[in-house]
Amino acid sequence: MSQFFSDKKVCIIGGSGALGSEIARQLLAQGAEVFLIARTPANIPTDLSGVPFAQGDIRDRDGLRTAVASFGCTFQGIVNAAGVVAFGSLSEVPEAVVRELFEVNAQGTLNVLSIAPEFLDEGGIISSFSGVAADMELLNMSAYCSSKSAAKSAMKIAAREFRSKKLSVLDVRAPHTETGLVDRALYGAAPKMPPGLTASAVASRVLQAIEVGEKDLPADAF
């Protein structure tokens, strides 16, 4: 097993979700110190109950900053695995749902990027899941794809801005993954999809990319 993450401190935003929690498990197995941020800490899986955590909402920049600061340390990595989804045509998806999609997926990513340099050591990395939707224009997923596309754009610009800070950015645009998120859509029902990747496989690939210094992780890299 790789020793790359041994003793490294990693903060995971969205630590109660399928991807965030699986990344936490794999990091712990590799000797990392893991810290979790969750909008609803009660949803953190019981097997991670001993991991330090803080309540934080990705939509609230100051609140997110306070949550990360509460751990009292700096990190070698910050992973953003928070996100929401909705389905429906442009005319169907309610305005309030569109607003939440952008607040979480787009503005949330910007919030993470804006505070990350305050808490990362030199040479640290920020990784965030834009997802394959960021590269697609799908019928009945316009609002969702648009919010993810905005997140992708923010990541690309941050990668350039952060070079002077000696920080790396990894945009993860994984294919459809079986996280259960589509069953918790803010609105609408998901179209019929082929079986997706497992959260375990995606988490493993992301950690591999971080270890070898990859700068971009599109769907065809999985």
Residue 108 located in a structural domain = yes
Identify the pLDDT of residue 34.
98
- What distance lies between CA 18 and its chain's CA centroid? 11
**Residue 104: closest CA among 85, 125, 79:** 85
Residue 205 located in a structural domain = yes
Counting the structural domains of the chain, the total is 1
Identify the pLDDT of residue 192.
86
CATH code assigned at 130: 3.40.50.720
Q: Identify the residue whose tokens are 């640290």.
A: 124
Per-residue model confidence as pLDDT tens for the chain (222 residues): 679 999 999 999 999 999 999 999 999 999 999 999 999 999 999 999 999 999 999 999 999 999 999 999 999 999 999 999 999 999 999 999 999 999 999 999 999 999 999 999 999 999 999 999 999 998 999 999 999 999 999 999 999 999 999 999 999 999 999 999 988 999 999 988 889 999 999 999 999 999 999 999 999 999
Identify the pLDDT of residue 108.
98
What is the number of other CB atoms lying within 10 angstroms of the CB of residue 69?
Answer: 13
Measured CA to CA, the distance from residue 59 to residue 79 in angstroms comes to: 16
Residue 168 located in a structural domain = yes
Domain that holds residue 23: 9-221
Contact 36, 5 (CB under 8 A): no
**Residue 156: closest CA among 113, 189, 211:** 113
Helix ranges (H only) for the chain are 18-29, 61-69, 95-101, 108-119, 142-161, 199-212
Supply angle C-alpha 169, 209, 53, rounded to 5.
70
Residue 144 located in a structural domain = yes
Residue 216 located in a structural domain = yes
Strand, helix or coil for residue 55: strand
Residue 1 located in a structural domain = no
pTM for the predicted model, two decimal places = 0.96
Identify the pLDDT of residue 221.
97
Identify the pLDDT of residue 193.
84
Residue 4 located in a structural domain = no
Strand, helix or coil for residue 128: strand
Residue 3 located in a structural domain = no
Identify the pLDDT of residue 168.
97
What is the DSSP secondary structure assignment for residue 197, as one 8-state letter?
Answer: B
Phi then psi dihedrals of residue 31, to 5 deg: 90, 10
Tell me, what amino acid is at 174?
Answer: A
Supply angle C-alpha 39, 105, 221, rounded to 5.
110
**Residue 208 structure tokens:** 């591999």
DSSP secondary structure letters along 99-122: HHHIIIIIIHHHHHHHHHHHHEEE
